[in-house]
Amino acid sequence: MFKRLEEFQHGEKCNPPYCKCSLDDRVACEWRFSGLLRERIEEVCRGHFLWMKRADKANNCFGANYWATGKQISEEFQADSLSLVSLTDTPFQLIKFTDFGTTFNHGKDEELVDTLQPLVEHWIEKLDTANGRKFYAFPRAKSITAELQDFRLDDHVWIWRALQSVKKIGLGYLLENFQRPPKQGSSNIGKGGSNETSKRLTPYKAFTPSLDYTPTVFQRHVLRRFTTENPVSRQRMLAVARSLADNRFYLHSRDTALLYTETTSSFVKSSTLWKATIDAQRLHEENQDSGWDNPLRYALAFMMGRSNLQINEKLPKDLSNDAKHALLDSSSTNGLSPGALHPVTKEPELFHDEAWRDFYWHRTFEVPYILWQCSLKKQNAEGAEPPKVPLAIPVASTQLEMKRWMPFNNLIVQKSIVVLLDEWLYPLPSFLDFTPSCEEMQERNYTGDRLKNVIKDIPKSERIRQGKIEQDDDEVECLSNNGM
Digit-coded pLDDT (tens) for 390-413: 443 344 434 566 665 556 555 444
DSSP 161-229: HHHHHHIIIIIGGGTTTBPPPPPTTGGGTTTTS-HHHHHHHTHHHH----B---HHHHHHHHHHHTEEE
Section 453-462 average pLDDT: 56
Look at residue 56 in the predicted model and tell me its pLDDT: 92
Q: Which of 272, 445, 295, 289 is nearest to 359 (CA)?
A: 295
- DSSP structure class, residue 395: H
Section 49-58 average pLDDT: 90
Residue scoring higher pLDDT (86 or 315)? 315
Look at residue 162 in the predicted model and tell me its pLDDT: 95
Residue scoring higher pLDDT (472 or 200)? 472
- DSSP structure class, residue 113: H
Look at residue 36 in the predicted model and tell me its pLDDT: 83
Residue 209 pLDDT grade (very low, low, confident, very high; cuts 50, 70, 90): low
Report the percentage of the chain scoring pLDDT > 70.
Answer: 63
Where is average pLDDT lowest: 43-57, 133-147, 375-389? 375-389
pLDDT at 16 over 80: no
| Rounded distance between C-alpha atoms, residue 38 and residue 32, angstroms | 10
pLDDT at 206 over 60: no
| Rounded distance between C-alpha atoms, residue 437 and residue 428, angstroms | 20
Residue 154 pLDDT grade (very low, low, confident, very high; cuts 50, 70, 90): very high
User: Per residue in 339-365, pLDDT tens?
Assistant: 999 988 889 998 888 778 888 988 999
| Rounded distance between C-alpha atoms, residue 237 and residue 240, angstroms | 10
pLDDT at 468 over 80: no
Look at residue 51 in the predicted model and tell me its pLDDT: 92
pLDDT at 158 over 70: yes
- Summarize the chain as % helix, strand, coil (round to 5): 50, 5, 45
Residue 25 pLDDT grade (very low, low, confident, very high; cuts 50, 70, 90): low
Q: How many CA atoms lie within 13 A of 253 on its CB side?
A: 18
Where is average pLDDT lowest: 82-96, 193-207, 371-385? 193-207
Q: Which of 408, 402, 418, 355 is nearest to 149 (CA)?
A: 408
Residue scoring higher pLDDT (108 or 368)? 368
**Under a CB-based contact definition with an 8 Å cutoff, are residues 248 and 405 in contact?**
yes
User: Per residue in 30-45, pLDDT tens?
Assistant: 667 777 888 888 899 8
Section 169-173 average pLDDT: 89
Look at residue 458 in the predicted model and tell me its pLDDT: 59
User: Per residue in 212-268, pLDDT tens?
Assistant: 999 999 999 999 999 999 888 888 999 999 988 889 999 999 899 999 988 888 888
Q: pTM for the whole thing? A: 0.76
Section 385-389 average pLDDT: 47
User: Per residue in 58-101, pLDDT tens?
Assistant: 888 998 888 999 998 887 766 555 556 788 999 999 999 888 88
Look at residue 287 in the predicted model and tell me its pLDDT: 81
